[in-house]
Amino acid sequence: MLRPKVPAMPQPTGLVTPPAVVVEPTAVIQQTPQFQAAAPVVSAAPVPARPAVQLTPGAVIALVGSGTAVVLVVGAVLVSMLLAVAITGASIAICALAIRSVINADTTRR
């Protein structure tokens, strides 16, 4: 009853691209120039794409110190938000109890 059915697709749907045309490479014959102008020789030294990062002991200490400061600040913010939610919830519960007791006291006096 709950057997999955694999759809059968005998023909592809949508646009069908024709097979690619095979291009055979041709030979390139280079000719030697009869006259060659004297070009200045410029030897360009390879420039590295990005210099390697080198960390000194002072930089490592600064990174560790700043990471610790970030963790402490984020932790303090999260704890203060949790404390604010807890205080708000407790005050709402106390207000609800006070209102309920006032309503119940008013109905029992009559």
Give the Cα separation of 48 and 42 in Å (integer): 18
DSSP characters over 76-96: HHHHHHHHHHHHHHHHHHHHH
Give the pLDDT of the chain (110 residues) as one tens digit per residue: 678 777 777 666 666 666 667 667 777 777 766 655 555 556 666 666 777 778 898 999 999 999 999 999 999 999 999 999 999 999 999 999 999 999 988 777 66
Per-residue tokens: 81: 């938000």
pTM over 0.75? The answer is no
